Amino acid sequence: MIKVGIIDYGGGNLRSLTRAVESLGHEVNLISSAEGFAEITHILFPGQGAYGDCLAKLKERELISPLINWIKADKPFFGICVGYQLLFEGSEEAEGEKGLNLFSGKVVKFKSATLKIPHMGWNSLMLNYTSHPIWSGLPEEPFFYFVHSYYPEGVKAEDSAAVCNYGRDFTACIIRGNIFATQFHPEKSQENGIQLIKNFLSF
């Protein structure tokens, strides 16, 4: 039986993500302490706001160790936006702060005299591992909704699930076993986003 948990660190887009999961017929359990991980089968980590602030709130609620343990155990995990960026080694947005360091790469800011920053709006993906069930029911180059000024650089090729282009190619999502995370917001991406969440909940 699926029991869905959403990380509540005092920020993030909880309402939209909760509605998206509930639309698929599942109840949502908000996780705001280590005890909240008990009996959960799938975790989603919504991210919104600054890297350093999010990290500080996770530390305050003592959520970092249980999160790392969950991911290292390869239990189903879906990180979104800052919840994606935190999986890497660190970020230019919070120099000196160590990320969860579960994936290789550092989060850096878009640098361009011509691009509008943040990268905001709909953009398409170039999928890797096209036969993977995470992409089931989606078009060959699905569109998703992005809002971000930073992206991960130095991601291992085998971890990159899809690439997006915004002035340059960057890894827009990663996958390893049952661990999946996206720079874009599936909860704001209409049918494609709902399908992606549905696919994840089948892990």
Query: Which residues are designated catalytic?
Result: 81, 185, 187
Confidence at 201, pLDDT banded by 50, 70, 90: very high
**Three-state DSSP state, 59:** helix
Render pLDDT for 50-75 as a digit per residue (tens, 0 to 9).
999 999 999 999 999 999 999 999 99
Average pLDDT over residues 80-98: 96
146 membership: H or E segment, kind and range: strand 143-148
Residue 12 reports pLDDT greater than 80: no
- CA–CA dist 51, 149 (Å, integer): 11
- Average model confidence (pLDDT) across the chain: 96
Integer CA distances (angstroms), 7 to 23, 40, 142, 201, in order: 18, 11, 26, 16
pLDDT of residue 6: 97
Confidence at 44, pLDDT banded by 50, 70, 90: very high
Q: Which residue has the tokens 């360091």?
A: 101
Confidence at 1, pLDDT banded by 50, 70, 90: confident
pLDDT of residue 55: 94
pLDDT of residue 13: 76
Please state the pTM of the whole predicted model: 0.97
Asked if 31 and 43 count as a contact pair (C-beta separation under 8 A), the reply is yes
pLDDT of residue 78: 98
Render pLDDT for 100-123 as a digit per residue (tens, 0 to 9).
999 999 999 999 889 999 999 999
Confidence at 193, pLDDT banded by 50, 70, 90: very high
pLDDT of residue 46: 93
For the chain, list the domains and their CATH numbers: 4-200 (3.40.50.880)
Residue 34: is it exposed, middle or buried by C-beta count within 10 angstroms (0-12/13-18/19+)? Answer: middle
